[in-house]
Amino acid sequence: MMKTEEIIIANLKCNGCASTIKKELMLLEGISNVAVDVEKNAVNVTYENIDRSNITQKLYSLGYPEATEKNGLLLQLKSYGSCMIGKVNNF
């Protein structure tokens, strides 16, 4: 059954971040739509046949942990890298 869920994340700074998040999450099998709201620090994901933890783990690996998790310096640095990649890919 298709589900849509809003996941609040840390380290979301700009549309470069949003671009990276959308591109990377869409690579996961079972995800049909990703919308990122930079103002709300939210990722809205529509998915089916994939566990929510797979989605949050992918976000975590990109440097955007769920806002309930500890947000350490390493993850902040990872998110800056993902942010820059997203900005470069947008041009």
pLDDT in tens, 40-82: 999 999 999 999 999 999 999 998 998 865 555 455 556 666 6
- Round to whole Å and give the CA distance between 21 and 12: 9
Domains of the chain with CATH codes? 3-90 (3.30.70.100)
Cross-strand partners of 6: 44
Q: What pLDDT, on the 0 to 100 scale, is given for residue 43?
A: 97
Q: Is the pLDDT of residue 31 over 70?
A: yes
Mean pLDDT of 26-42: 96
Q: At what angle do helices 15-26 and 52-62 cross, to 10 degrees?
A: 140
In three-state secondary structure terms, 42 is strand
Q: Is the pLDDT of residue 10 over 60?
A: yes
Q: What pLDDT, on the 0 to 100 scale, is given for residue 58?
A: 97
pTM of the model: 0.77
